[in-house]
Amino acid sequence: MQGHDDGEPTVRIREVKKDRVNFVLGNVDLAFANSLRRVMMADIPTVAIDMVEIETNTSVLPDEFIAHRLGMVPLVSANCDEAIRYTRDCVCLAGCSFCSMILELKVSCHDDNTMDVTSDHLEVVPFPPDEESADPGEELSKRGEWFGHPVGKHDRNVPPVLITKIRKGQELKIRCIAKKGIAKEHAKFSPCSAVSFEYDPHNKLRHTTYWYETDIKGEWPLSENAKEEEAPRDDEPFNFNAKPNKFYFEVETDGSLGPQEVVMKGLAELQTKLANLILGLKIGGADQIDIMPDDVPVPHVPPPDNAWSGGDPNTWGMHAGSASGGSSSGWSQTSPTRGGAGSQWSNDASWGGATGTAGWASASSPQTNGWKQ
């Protein structure tokens, strides 16, 4: 713990597993470490089931329930940057092979025992040729063998995700459309199931206050990370100039991306944000300096990769995962006014997005998917 940060940032990887990486980040500011954490949780694109058409559902769960559960299934999203487009950036009208994947779930139970319907029953099907767009694109060739498939489908050691259970005579016939998105839009797109982040395990900086009954040390056991730092003496005076300098990360993924990929993509995503800002300054900035004090409108900058504009206005089918609504906002700001919609930010039409994001608003068109309002 130093009063100033000196020298290059350091990274020490402590542990690598298939689904997680544990590392210590040093010599950076708390603000930067937090940016990295936020960006890994909320800004990395993945694919997830976004729209669900239900042809038959005779199971005990209602359609929305199943649609929501399908949205949560992690899909293999390696190389998502190159392998798939956002539908809003695509030339197609409502989805094509460049910006979406189709998964089908067709199961029926003919057995006397209860049958588990799991993510292993989801089959990726090729796009029908008539919906194929003629647009040339390299996306398809950039996809790995299992891109868009449920995580663990081809690995016997990974247990599948249970979607529902059906008994004899019950049937599910569902067509799902998976799209690319980021977790700010809906938490199902987050590649991370958890990111643990700790600094100052001895609480020398007094950034937190522990509640206790009688004995603070007995009631608040130290974390493993406390071994990395020297414990303060009991009579040590409080150093109000001290700044946190070591940050303990553990990035745990849901399998849609590898943990290494999440960290690297997180850093790359931060750099993209900075680059977009510099670009915005360079384009708008030059004029600002000339014509400064009056409020002359500055030339418009092409909106870089706008994640906020919501989904496609022409959505049909219900929004997978939207039933959760509030749960999508794992971080600070939750908009209380839009409980149901997946996107927290979507409620400003002037941002140029479709006003009703592909949420309930558009799902309510009567002929959507056979369920009556």
Stretch that binds another protein, among 37-45, 48-56, 121-129, 211-219 (CB under 8 A): 37-45
Mapped onto helix, strand or coil, the DSSP state of residue 10 is: strand
Find the binder of another protein among 128, 218, 289, 367 (CB under 8 A).
Answer: 289
Binding pattern for the stretch 244-263 against another protein, x by CB under 8 A and - elsewhere: --------------x-x--x
d(CA 38, CA 332): 11
Find the binder of another protein among 3, 62, 159, 285 (CB under 8 A).
Answer: 285
Mapped onto helix, strand or coil, the DSSP state of residue 193 is: strand
Two tokens, residue 54: 């239900």
Shortest CB 300 distance to another protein, Å: 5
Shortest CB 285 distance to another protein, Å: 6
Shortest CB 371 distance to another protein, Å: 30
Shortest CB 233 distance to another protein, Å: 30
d(CA 359, CA 315): 9
Q: Where are the beta strands (DSSP E) in 9-121?
A: 10-16, 20-26, 46-57, 100-108, 115-118
> Of residues 296-355, which lie at the interface with another protein (CB under 8 A)?
298-304, 306-309, 332-335, 337, 344-345, 347-348, 350-353
Two tokens, residue 264: 């690297």
| Helices 30-42 and 259-290, packing angle to 10 deg | 110
Shortest CB 134 distance to another protein, Å: 23
Under the binding rule (CB under 8 A), the answer on residue 365 touching another protein is no
Find the binder of another protein among 55, 62, 274, 326 (CB under 8 A).
Answer: 274
∠ CA 218-221-223 to the nearest 5 degrees? 165
Under the binding rule (CB under 8 A), the answer on residue 196 touching another protein is no
Under the binding rule (CB under 8 A), the answer on residue 371 touching another protein is no
Under the binding rule (CB under 8 A), the answer on residue 154 touching another protein is no
Under the binding rule (CB under 8 A), the answer on residue 29 touching another protein is yes
Under the binding rule (CB under 8 A), the answer on residue 241 touching another protein is no
Contact 337, 348 (CB under 8 A): no
Find the binder of another protein among 126, 169, 237, 293 (CB under 8 A).
Answer: 293
d(CA 272, CA 251): 21
Shortest CB 185 distance to another protein, Å: 12
Under the binding rule (CB under 8 A), the answer on residue 159 touching another protein is no
Q: What is the DSSP secondary structure assignment for residue 9, as one 8-state letter?
A: -
Order of all β-strands in the sheet with 122-125: 122-125, 100-108, 171-181, 46-57, 318-319
